[in-house]
Amino acid sequence: MTLAKAYVIIAKEHNFYLAWELSLMIQSCQLFLSKAAMRMRPVTLEEAEPIITRQSSLLCKAQDAHYDIATTIVTMKYHIQALEE
C-alpha cells in the first residue's frame, strides 16, 4: 500500500485515471483491513486473494507506465523540496 500511495502522487501528474484507480484500491484495502481487525479473526487467503490480485495488477500497470523506483524517488524528492520551500 505504501508503494501504491507513492504511485498515486506521481500518477496525478501524468495519468489521472491511474491515480484514481490506485486511490480506490487503497481505500478498499484499508476498508478490508479495518473490517478484518474489527471481527478479531485472521484473514483467509480466499478473502484476501481478490484484493491482492487487484493491487498487484495496478502496481504492474504503474510500473509499465515507467513509474520505476528511481523515478519515484526523484519525484518524491522534488515534492519534498517544494513543500519545504
Q: What is the pTM of this model?
A: 0.69
Condensed to tens digits (0 to 9), the pLDDT of residues 11-22 reads 887 788 888 999
Domain boundaries, the chain: 2-84
Q: What is the 3-state secondary structure (H, E, C) of the chain?
A: CHHHHHHHHHHHHHCHHHHHHHHHHHHHHHHHHHHHHHHCCCCCHHHHHHHHHHHHHHHHHHHHCCCCHHHHHHHHHHHHHHHHC
pLDDT at residue number 41 = 84
pLDDT at 72: 73
Residue pair 6/13 in contact by the 8 Å Cβ criterion: no
DSSP character at residue 44:
P
Per-residue model confidence as pLDDT tens digits over 30-85: 999 898 889 888 888 899 999 899 988 988 888 787 666 777 778 778 888 888 88
Which pLDDT does position 49 carry in this prediction?
92
